[in-house]
Amino acid sequence: MPPASAVPPAAGCLRPGYGPGDLHAQSPPAPPARRDIIALEAQGILRRVHGGAVAVRPASEPPLAVRSGVRAREKHAIVRAATRLLQPGQTLFLDAGSTTTMLAEELSALAGLTILTNSLDAVRKLAAAGECKPCTHQMTLIGGELAPGGHAIIGATAIASIYRYRADFAILSPVGIDAREGASSYDHQEAEVARAMAQRATRLVILADHGKLGVTSRAVYASPDGIALLITDKAAADKPAFQALNRVLTEVIVAG
């Protein structure tokens, strides 16, 4: 795929992430970056300082309910684009990310999928949709240990269960995606589950809004050459990290 036209790096552009480490800016950020900083500060991930921001050292990743509300409009555009990839009869893995949980709601409009997930929230959303109209999907909640916070299944039993299946797609929502490191998660055990899903799928699809581009968190689970498709939102075009990803990935879809 030909690379998108180059976008000069904005002065003061940050690479926010959930992992520890200082983030510095040399001059005031552009308005889109400032909005990202304000949103991340509201989550307790960053603290604004003169000329930029520094990372707060969190004890854990923000709760799913908090993450789901960040850039929700962009996430909705991304998941709508993801549904257009799917056909009846296909099998897909979904992880327990905020964007993939949102995707579960959109899947209720489709039919005839086999959905394998470690996300309790995704299963609840699909089940709730099935109360309103007949659900023709076959849903499997992967067994294993309940993660702290109660939103995901993790552990060796979950990974062993994943390896029993073969899927057409692994549709995953990372903490960040970087052109050199690939897709990463804050939680090491959730990263192991995501890695197993990616290895057992024909195509790995990453759903990541513009705030996740250029971000590397604590546990990398998929290298750039293992990612078949990135779906992001239209605000990504303003980010140098998008240009870098567009050069190294096989395919990128800009939604919205």
Pick the CATH number of 61-255 from 3.40.50.10470, 1.10.260.40, 3.20.20.70, 3.40.50.970: 3.40.50.10470
Q: Which residues contact 133 (CB under 8 A, 6 or more apart)?
A: 108
CA distance 63 to 194: 18
| pTM given for the model | 0.75
| pLDDT top residue among 115 and 50 | 115
Integer-rounded Cα Rg, in Å, for the chain is 18
pLDDT at 55 over 70: no
Nearest to 235 by CA among 213, 203, 251, 204: 213
Nearest alpha-carbon partner for 85 in 204, 165, 174, 197? 204
Tracing tokens 């603290």 back to the chain, one arrives at: 47
Residues in the chain: 256
Contact assessment for residue 104 and residue 137, using Cβ atoms and an 8 Å cutoff: no
Taking only the tens place, the pLDDT of each residue in 66-122 is 565 567 899 999 999 999 999 999 999 999 999 999 999 899 889 999 999 999 999
What is the band of 256 on the pLDDT scale with cuts at 50, 70, 90? confident
Phi, psi of 105 (to 5 degrees): -65, -40
Of 59-68, 98-107, 179-188, 219-228, the poorest mean pLDDT is in 59-68
Q: What confidence tier does 34 reach under pLDDT thresholds 50, 70, 90?
A: confident
Closest CA to 201 of 237, 231, 162: 162
